[in-house]
Amino acid sequence: MGWALVLIGLLLWPTPVRAQTDSLQAFFLQGASLVRKGHYQDAIPVLYRVFRQAPDFVDDKGYSVVYWLGLALKKADREDEALSVWSQGLSALHRSRRFDPLAADAYIHTVFEEGYDTQYLQASWAYLELLRSLDAPGLNEEAREVVDRYVAQMEFLLPSSLRAQVRPDERKPAVPGSGAKLAVWWQAQDPVISTPQNERLIEHLKRVVYAEKHYATNRRRSGLDDRGIIYVRLGPPKFTSKIYMQDRGINKSTMSPYRSGLELNPNEFWSYRHIDPLLYYLFVEKDGYYQIGLPSDLVPQSLLHSSYFQYRWAALLETWQIIYGQLALLHPDFVKQSIEVDNMITGITGRANPDNFVMMRRMHFKRQEQFSAAQRDRIAPVVFSSAAYDNVENMPVEARVARFLNEATGKTRIEVFWGHNPIAVSPGDQGRRILREKNYADSGHYLIDLYAITRTADYQLGDFQRQRYTLSATDPTLAIQTVTLQSPSPIFHVALQWDVYATEALGNGQYQLGPRFKMGTFRRDTLQALNPDPGQLEMSDLVPVLRGVFPENPDSLVRYPFLAITSETQLGLRFEVYHLQFGPDDRTHYTVEYAVIREKGGRDETVVSARTEYTGQSRTAQEYIEVDLQQIPDRGHIRVRVTVTDQQSGQQVAREISFNLIS
């Protein structure tokens, strides 16, 4: 009996693994409790015992040791250690297929509040993982609120279709399952493909963290008032101001009942004239937080609803004069109202009922303000970013993408052909400033460094090409260039980046690289690979070429990447047809039709068309057609549609290409 009891006791005794887990749990709970109580120094060694043994430790409520230890270190003014713990711990959690949004939130805020630029890449990754965690089951309520706040801080940047998927009901949290879509959307915003960082995402996180610190409110899911939202969208304003109640010495006797304590509602005026000369925002504090407002919102309600009717009209006139007088100095939208108020003050004497007259004019001014605000909203971009061209000049480049099918492999080959205006290479005002700041004399010799990549549907890197070209200010002409890439997946994206550097020629074809002063970018998202099914008629994209070269040698045709074209341009279109079917005579029979289309009155109108029948001996055909642009009577946007019909199978396929026809 005794031996049996001993055996049962041994079976019930915790195994070493279970004992270790229980021990870690105990230390974790003790350390987290100390942090909650503000005993940070005492919590640090306790939590370090857990972190060193299991950096991916998470309790059954979803809280991680990474979060609590990093928080304790930061509160104890050991910020560098906190960053190291958060960085290492989030990576450990990722390896074990876990994640803690609270730790990511703390890490992101610390990195961007303090400007730890060496951590931007890791913090950006943590942000994308935080968005993806929206899809994870079992997040605790605190973590889900953090994720939802981050979603709310970006959803006003999204296209309407994606925004509707993320939060169909604005009264409810973001929909689980949309986190991966948001992460992919951010990956699509990367403006500089030659660097591992997503500069646009880094810019966004800088803005969000700054806005949370300076423009916060608990009245909104995003935690941001309207100033914060505009800051996240457009960045810092060019200048700011406030509208104050000023003692201008006008009608003091009529103002006397209101003079004591009468102030305009708290406000801020922001100008974004670096984006558009007419772009501004007036924020007024309403309901406890700052909202986009109108000048009429500045007038204190105590004045509008006062019982001093015999004084109200005069007091309101003076208040308007003060408001519009200041606003007129800040923006031309308000000059007209300022003049009108001055005229009202001089012309109101002798009116039988000045109060009614002034209140009617109040409605008139409000309509004018609403009209100006509507115009402002039309010119305001959804987002303004300087991430792509931070400290460099923009280089305009035009490019087109054409897909071709390799029937032997079933893969899609991508040709990107591009060109530029020769004068676009030499440094402009900003480029010369960059060279001066770097004490570099412009030698007139330049190098274009081209990066070309494809990415999968979820923006994983596919093919990569790099090419370099040298040219000079005396001979800035660069022939039309073509880059060839392979599609990495059925749905893919293409991006190119041109970096322009000043160089110094050393002789014998050698040169010394100087500062980068220009950059150009091009991208085409969500392209589809061509269909490799031999039973399905398929067609390449249309490649515009310049006539005058023998079409029997397609490789020698000069490609035309530009959107603008003149009626005198001798335009040809080259394309390939795949998977034609043989007829009973062991030959292929197909027709090629083209139509030049323009939009007129909201409808498509065909202005030029042609049709040709072909017979061939191969299932693949290389075709070339000439387009007579001189037959098109009007200038403007046109589309050229080419349709191929396989007469044997009855299948049909079409492609289009667009131009701006100019004089």
- Residue ranges of domains in the chain: 21-221, 239-379, 391-530, 533-663
Low-confidence spans in the chain with pLDDT less than 50: 1, 3-13, 15, 17, 249-256, 259-260, 550-551
The pLDDT, as a whole number, for residue 555 is: 59
pLDDT computed for residue 198 by the predictor: 94
Q: Which of 537, 544, 616 is nearest to 575 (CA)?
A: 544
* pLDDT at res. 111: 97
Structure tokens belonging to residue 623: 């075709």
Task: Give pLDDT, residue 382.
Answer: 95
3.40.50.10490, 3.10.20.600, 2.60.40.10, 1.10.10.60: CATH of 533-663:
2.60.40.10
Give the residue among 334, 261, 327, 328 at the shortest CA–CA distance from 300: 261
Same fold, 391-530 and 533-663: yes
Question: Could you report the per-residue pLDDT of 459-511, keeping only the tens digit for each?
Answer: 989 999 999 998 888 887 788 999 999 999 999 999 999 999 999 877 776 77
CB-CB neighbours of 651 under 10 Å: 17
Q: Which tens digits make up the pLDDT trace of 178-227?
A: 999 999 999 999 998 888 899 999 999 999 999 999 999 999 999 999 99
- What is the distance between the alpha carbons of residues 74 and 77, in angstroms, rounded to a whole number? 5
Fold of the 391-530 domain: Immunoglobulin-like (2.60.40)
* % the chain with pLDDT above 90: 67
Cα–Cα nearest to 469, from 544, 434, 418, 521: 418
SS3 call for 23: helix
305, 316 contact by CB (below 8 A):
no
21-221 to CATH, choices 1.25.40, 2.60.40, 3.40.50, 3.30.70: 1.25.40
501-537 per-residue burial string, b: 16 or more CB within 10 A, e: under 16: bbbeeeeeeebeebbbbbbbbbbeeebebbbbeeeeb
What per-residue confidence (pLDDT) applies to 8?
42
Contact in structure between 197 and 124 (CB atoms under 8 Å): yes
Question: What was the pLDDT predicted at 7?
Answer: 40
